Amino acid sequence: MTGSKRITIHDIARKAGVSPSTVSRVLNSTTPVAEAKRQAVTTAIQQLDYRPNLIAQGLARGTSTIIGVLTQDIGSPFYGELLRGIEYGFRGSRYHPIFADGNWQQAEEYNALNILRSRQPEALIILGGLMPDAEMLAAAQEFPLIIIGRSVPSLEEYCVLVDNFQGAYRATQYLIEMGHQRIAHITGIRSHQDTLDRQAGYEQALRDANLPINPDLIVEGTFQEQSGLLAVETLLMRANPFTALFAANDQMAYGARLALYRRGIRVPEDVSLIGFDDLPSSAYTTPPLTTVRQPTFEMGMSAAKATLNLIDQRPWPLPQLTPDLVIRESTGFARR
């Protein structure tokens, strides 16, 4: 179970008949080294299967090559693609992301941030979260910082996000174009900015079409499946008919779809259903879900790339990401 003595730069120096400094130099090719010695060192490294101790290197160089990533719910389908994108973005670089989860609770976020801090990250990526803007500004003082899925005033140029208002507007508008007039909305958690922006987009689209905003058609969810299911039950109990339903994320749309199914309400024949996110599985629900696509993988990847650029003090172009409406089969014309 326990390995043999970890082998160090000194071991290979001895074996190669040079000084540790020289070994370090061939390792990092920072300074020319005589060919013979270089050879000796190289073969010694191979023979002893030596691998530099990154943490010692980190201490000596003052660089940890670690990027702290503050997540909110590692494990949720939405974060899955984001993480994959981040992981992909750092591949081949010498940097390695480490994750700490805030669990959508402020106290845990602070805690996670401190955990990350103690690992001396060279930059931070923060995904959403409930931390006050002031804290974000403070963090930006301390580290190169990229923020995903949230817009922080005066830090806009470090934020990677799609326009939630715009996405929701587009979704609602599409429903209206399809002839729907009574469009219900399941919101996310009130404290999230996404929730507010998406609801605002929904309402604006209604307004622009001269349709009334009916509070009875709006119900709050939690971004999770079960809440979508419950929301539909609530909506149905209110006996306020609707022919279309816009859920603030796909997971709630799944729950809503199930509630509808249980009541024998057909999608899209009786009710059109539209989500937000375009999770990978949304293309495989029955019927496949019409939804507002967030390019999550790309968001993660560009955040990673931007982080690398920030560290190297290069410009960090962030892509112009627009939420696309992906029209599948859960939406149709309103019944006449």
- How far apart CA 263 and CA 132 sit, in angstroms, is 42
By CB under 8 A, name the binding residues for its own copies. 1, 3, 51-56, 58-59, 64, 73-77, 79-81, 83-84, 87, 96-101, 114-115, 117-120, 140-144, 225, 229, 251, 254-255, 257-258, 261, 280-281, 283-288, 310
Site for DNA in 39-68 (CB under 7 A): 50, 52-53, 56-57, 59-62
**Residue 14: CB minimum distance to DNA, A:** 11
By CB under 7 A, residue 30 contacts DNA: yes
Specify the residue, 140 or 217, whose C-beta has the smaller distance to its own copies. Answer: 140
Non-local CB neighbours of 173 within 8 Å, separated by 6+ positions: 205, 208, 209
Given candidates 14, 24, 74, 80, which one binds DNA under the rule CB under 7 A? Answer: 24
Specify the residue, 18 or 259, whose C-beta has the smaller distance to DNA. Answer: 18
**Helix runs in the chain, H state only:** 9-16, 20-28, 35-48, 54-61, 77-90, 106-118, 133-142, 164-177, 193-208, 225-237, 250-262, 296-311
- How far apart CA 149 and CA 78 sit, in angstroms, is 11
Task: Answer whether 127's CB lies under 8 Å from 82's CB.
Answer: yes
Site for DNA in 177-236 (CB under 7 A): none
- How far apart CA 58 and CA 43 sit, in angstroms, is 25
Task: Answer whether 97's CB lies under 8 Å from 125's CB.
Answer: yes
**Residue 3: CB minimum distance to DNA, A:** 11
Task: Calculate helix-pair angle for 250-262, 225-237, nearest 10 degrees.
Answer: 50
**Residue 6: CB minimum distance to DNA, A:** 5
**Residue 61: CB minimum distance to DNA, A:** 5
Which residues would be at the binding site for DNA (CB under 7 A)?
6, 8-10, 18-25, 27-28, 30-34, 36-38, 50, 52-53, 56-57, 59-62
